[in-house]
Structure 1
Amino acid sequence: MPSPKTPDALPTTRTAPCVDQVDRAILKELQRNSRISVRALAESVHISRASAYARIERMLSEQTIQGFTARIDPARIGLGTTAYVTLAIDQSAWRTLCERLREVSYVEHFALVGAEHDVMALVRAPDNTALRDVVLSEIQRLPGVRSTRTWLVFEEAEGPGVYIAP
Structure 2
Amino acid sequence: MAEDPGEGAVRRAAAARPLDPVDRAILRILQADGRTSVRSVAERVHVSRANAYARINRLVEDGVIRGFTASVDHERAGQGTSAYITLKIVQNSWRTVRGQLEELPGAAHIALVGGDFDVLLLVHTPDNRTLRELVLTRLQAIPEVLSTRTLLVFEETDLSPGAPLPE
Inter-partner Cα distance in structure 2 for 1:108 and 1:114: 20
1:164 alignment partner AA: L
Could you report, residue by residue, the CA deviation over 1:53-108 in whole angstroms, capped at 9, with x for unpaired residues?
11110000001111111101111111111111100001121111111111112211
CA distance in 2, matches of 1:64, 1:162: 15
- The question of whether the paired residues in 1 share the 8 Å contact of 2:125 and 2:131 is answered with yes
- Paired with 2:129 and 2:17, the residues of 1 have a C-alpha distance of 45
Give the aligned partner of residue 123 of structure 1: 123
- Indicate the SS of the match to 2:91: coil
* CA pair 94-165 structure 1, distance change in 2 beyond 3 A: closer
Higher helix share: 2
Task: Determine the structure 2 residue equivalent to 1:36.
Answer: 36
> Aligned residues, how many?
153
Structure-2 separation of matches of 1:81 and 1:165: 32
Unmatched runs of 5 consecutive residues or more in structure 1: 1-13
Larger Rg: 1
The match for 1:162 is: 163
Q: Does 1:82 align with 2:99?
A: no
Please give the alpha-carbon distance, in whole angstroms, between the structure 2 residues aligned to 1:93 and 1:15: 30
Any unmatched runs of 5+ in structure 2? 1-13
Which runs of at least 4 in structure 1 moved beyond 6 Å after TM superposition? none
- Range with greater deviation from structure 2 (132-141 or 153-162): 153-162
Which residues of 2 match residues 6-155 of structure 1 at below 5 A?
A: 17-155=17-155
Moved more, 28-37 or 53-62: 28-37
Q: Equivalents in 1 of 2:166, 2:115: separation in Å?
A: 29
Mapped to 1, the partners of 2:16 and 2:140 lie a distance apart of 37
Q: TM-score, normalised by structure 2?
A: 0.85
Contact 2:84/2:150 (CA < 8 Å) preserved in 1? Answer: yes
Q: What is the root-mean-square deviation in Å for CA atoms of aligned residues?
A: 1.7
Calculate the TM-score normalised by the size of structure 1. 0.86
Give the CA deviation at 1:33.
2.1
- The residue type equivalent to 1:32 in the other structure is A
CA distance in 2, matches of 1:165, 1:131: 35
Percent identical residues: 50
